[in-house]
Amino acid sequence: MTADPAHPQQSERQQRIVTPPPAAQVLRARPGISPFSLDTLIAGPPAASGEAVIELDIDFTESKIYNPATDQYDLVRLRSYRDTKQAAPPKIPFVAPTIEIIPGETVRLTLHNKLPVANQNCPAPDGDVNTPHCFNRTNLHSHGLWVSPSGNGDNVLISINPGVDFQYEYNVPPDHPAGTFWYHPHLHGSTAIQVSSGMAGLLIIRGSRLPTPMSPGDIDTLLKEPTGAPFAERLVLLQQVQYACRDANGKIEVDARNAYFCKPGEVGGIDGYDQFGPNSWLRSGRYTSINGEVLPVSLAPKPAALSAGALRMRACVTALSCSLRRCALELATTIWPMHKRSRTGLSPIASARRCPTLHLRATGSRGVRLRSGRPQCCNPDIAKTYSSSSQKPATTASSTTRHRQPLRSMPM
């Protein structure tokens, strides 16, 4: 069906195609190259004492979000992460860039806080540190990494005020497991309002170490077909941006159904804790977005090498009102059918749903793997290594790891 140029909203609705989140631009030191070269993704082991340099801006971003209730796009202004070195804005500018690193690297990540100096609720009006306050102050937490929490490491007690630049240094251990992690603000008083605005992104550690009888390997070496081909991979960022518009008295505007409503020309935002919380998500009438798209119609681009029915989903759930279990169901009922249709050439369907839970849950990330038929995981090199051994290889989890205890390998 050809879009009617006289109706731009119709054309935009047909453009709701899920694309991967933008990739962070990474500068890395390489032997013979001084000082750094642009390298968004490295294959193979890092150089000795390798460094990775990343810069992110934090600022208000103007964008739009599809609203199924009105079949229109709502204008929004949200706090977000933006890659400092990215020349052109990504398709959906409030979706945070994906950071990819390797075990053994020293990661230097600089945050430039470009939010307005005029801070909302700063200091807390009642003087209580537990009252939400200072919404434009921030910091960054690398959720799940085995790195130091002190100094300029993964220190959640640091406050980066508006107009301030700060460089974090993460010394990632050489034995750090590969997996799917995430990063987000973690400053007491402003965490929820910033994460709910979209300030959260995937943080992936890729590894190539095979397991041995004495040590675990990287899960990336296990998630392969018997032929040795890696599973097709999708990066999925599930977010619940509970934006609202306010009237002249500061009250949230609602429609006849008591759902959040923005009049044409109004700009929605997240500027108060009265907008979200337990029991509020379904009432708000907002929808869970997938990589920034609400009710997407298809997936693109197709993975370069699709394996036979297998799909590895690296999913980060940054929804304050969405449990991981229910959002995993969303992945199964939305992304997987689209993926299968994109492989077979059939027309994809728009089957995205809100996560129907009323409980306030902690956010998290998981490496989700779906396939039709019996689960399999067989790397020929691993199978060959263990063909004469009764001990099965162990591997670390692809999800956020709380303890350095390896998991058993998946069923062979």
Q: Does the pLDDT at position 289 exceed 60?
A: yes
Q: CA-to-CA distance for 399 and 380, rounded, in angstroms?
A: 24
* Domains recognised in the chain with CATH numbers: 18-408 (2.60.40.420)
Q: What is the pLDDT of residues 241-268, one digit of tens each?
A: 999 999 999 999 999 999 999 999 999 9
Contact 63, 92 (CB under 8 A): yes
pTM for the predicted model, two decimal places? 0.77
Instruction: pLDDT band for 411, please (50, 70, 90 cuts).
Output: very low
Instruction: pLDDT band for 337, please (50, 70, 90 cuts).
Output: low
For residues 321-340, give the mean pLDDT.
52
Q: 3-state SS of the chain: helix, strand, coil percent to 5?
A: 10, 30, 60
Q: How confident is the model at residue 382, as a pLDDT?
A: 37
Q: Does the pLDDT at position 397 exceed 50?
A: no
Give the residue with greater pLDDT, 103 vs 358: 103
What does the mean pLDDT of the chain come to?
Answer: 74
Give the residue with greater pLDDT, 92 vs 185: 185
Contacts of 125 (CB under 8 A, 6+ apart): 131, 133
For residues 188-200, give the mean pLDDT.
92
Least confident residue range of 21-25, 95-99, 280-284, 399-403: 399-403
Count the Cβ atoms, other than its own, within 10 Å of residue 266. 15
- Kindly list the distances between the CA atom of residue 104 and the CA atoms of 47, 101, 177, in Å, as whole numbers in the listed order: 9, 9, 11
Q: Which of 48-57, 149-158, 334-343 has the highest mean pLDDT?
A: 149-158
Q: How confident is the model at residue 338, as a pLDDT?
A: 54
Q: Percent of the chain, pLDDT > 70?
A: 66
User: Which among 380, 211, 220 is positioned nearest to 314, based on CA atoms?
Assistant: 220
Q: Percent of the chain, pLDDT > 90?
A: 39
Q: How confident is the model at residue 44, as a pLDDT?
A: 38
Q: Does the pLDDT at position 284 exceed 50?
A: yes
Give the residue with greater pLDDT, 216 vs 180: 180
Instruction: Report the amino acid identity of residue 268.
Output: G
Q: Does the pLDDT at position 410 exceed 60?
A: no
Q: Does the pLDDT at position 294 exceed 50?
A: yes
Q: How would DSSP label each residue in 54-68?
A: EEEEEEEEEEEEEET
